[in-house]
Amino acid sequence: MNLIFLGPPGAGKGTLAGHVSKEFSIPQISTGDIFRDAIKRETELGKKVKEIVGRGDLVPDELTVSLVRERLTQADAQKGYILDGFPRTIPQAEALDTFQKLSAVVNFEIADAQVVERLSGREICKTCGAIYHVKNMPAKVKGVCDKCGGPLYTRPDDSLASITNRLDVYRTQTEPLIAYYGKKSLLKNIDSSKSPEDTLVQIRAALRTLK
Ligand code: ADP
């Protein structure tokens, strides 16, 4: 099952990819997580992308595509995967088509106002990457991860300026992928304005028709 999770920042792709990954035993491959990890470890890649990611702009296509291409050759991705945050541009999608055959593209639909609300309260565990929201999905103990006890932090690109830019970038560069995959009859539209549980039910239903 080769899946793409498509949608604006804050739509819940990362949270839901975590659930679906466990349920179907396929890896969640998040380009955003790969870049953040490289930035944290101060690798060559991390140094190259730090400012771009901080602003909420896109990392150049060539770099991103070669990274994903390499990741998809690894053993755990041979029976399927969820690409979370990739592709984000038409050239990325065209490149992916040259080396992968997709099963479906799950398109997370949500209004801009709700995106801003979700991202401006988002907190992430530094240790295990679990995602929380100060109001909608708070940790049991403030600042501490329920799952592993790690410390929670706010992503530097969850500042209001960067959120607004990421939404702009999404509308201009990524949204055209909806038509791109629509033409290929791969698109599964999901209403992601409700709870993660509700969204998961919709995704299960969409994926059931694949088998
Ligand atoms: P979100 O969906 O919340 O904006 P992600 O974790 O998916 O966040 O991505 C964070 C940042 O990483 C993006 O704003 C961008 O700078 C970079 N990035 C992630 N995926 C891609 C991609 N496919 N192409 C280019 N840049 C990317």
Kindly report the average pLDDT of the chain as a whole number: 95
Maximum distance among all Cα pairs of the chain, rounded to whole angstroms? 47
Q: For residue 158, give the ligand 1 atom closest to its CA.
A: 3
Pocket test for ligand 1, best of 71, 88, 175 (most atoms within 8 A of CB): 88
Q: For residue 84, give the ligand 1 atom closest to its CA.
A: 7
83, β-bridge pairs: 4, 29
**Which of 201, 179, 182, 180 shows the shortest CA–CA distance to 190?**
201
pLDDT digits (tens, 9 = 90+) for 3-34: 999 999 999 999 999 999 999 999 999 999 99
Residue closest by Cα to atom 10 of ligand 1? 32
Pocket test for ligand 1, best of 28, 48, 157 (most atoms within 8 A of CB): 157
pLDDT digits (tens, 9 = 90+) for 89-118: 999 999 999 999 999 999 999 999 999 999
Res 13: pLDDT: 95
Q: What does pTM read for this prediction?
A: 0.91
Q: Which residues are catalytic?
A: 13, 88, 122, 155, 166
Name the residue with higher pLDDT: 211 or 101. Answer: 101
Q: For residue 11, give the ligand 1 atom closest to its CA.
A: 2
pLDDT above 70 as % of the chain: 100
Amino acid at position 171, single letter: R
Res 211: pLDDT: 60
Res 209: pLDDT: 83
Kindly indicate the confidence band of residue 156, based on its pLDDT and cuts at 50, 70 and 90: confident
Contact 103, 1 (CB under 8 A): yes
Q: How far, in Å, is the centroid of ligand 1 from the Cα of 211? A: 30
Q: With a 6 A CB cut-off, is 68 part of the ligand 1 pocket?
A: no
